Amino acid sequence: MDGENATSWPLTTEGVPDWEGVFEDPKTGFIALIRSANSPATLKACATVVVQQLFTRDDDSMNVMKYILDLENILPDSDDKETTSEELDEMRDAVSGFLRAIKEDRILKSQEYLKKRINEEERRSS
């Protein structure tokens, strides 16, 4: 897609990033990475890296800050107490939901880009 380094992500047959695979692949997807975090600190670090990898364009700094603040609300600092496995599972679920919302937004933007590209190609050929 314009402005994105699409070659760094697996692509669909239409030539746009395969966001479903990027997020949901059981071995390499972002959700699998998040699910493997074994502490709140690791979970927060992983989620932060994912956000930073997703938003790398020069004009993405506001998105990065917004999503990092969202993560702060989902994963409050918990270094001062023990986290149970149930609490950690709830945190993983919350971060997975957070990332899936980003995934859906990315899919929607890819679909909009494809429609725009098709319309431009149709205009050029008429």
Q: What is the DSSP annotation of 31-91?
A: HHHHHT--SHHHHHHHHHHHHHHH--SGGGHHHHHHHHHHHHHHS---TTS---HHHHHHH
**pLDDT tens digits along 48-60:** 999 999 999 889 9
pLDDT of 75 over the 60 cut: yes
How many angstroms separate the CA atoms of 12 and 10, rounded? Answer: 7
What confidence score (pLDDT) does residue 124 get? 86
pLDDT of 2 over the 60 cut: no
Could you tell me the two tokens for 76?
Answer: 């409050």
Q: Exposed (0-12), middle (13-18) or buried (19+): which is 110, by Cβ within 10 Å?
A: buried
Instruction: Provide the total of helices (H) and of strands (E) in the chain, helices listed first.
Output: 5, 0
Q: Give percent above pLDDT 70 in the chain.
A: 92
How many angstroms separate the CA atoms of 40 and 31, rounded? Answer: 15
**pLDDT tens digits along 14-39:** 999 999 999 999 999 999 999 999 99
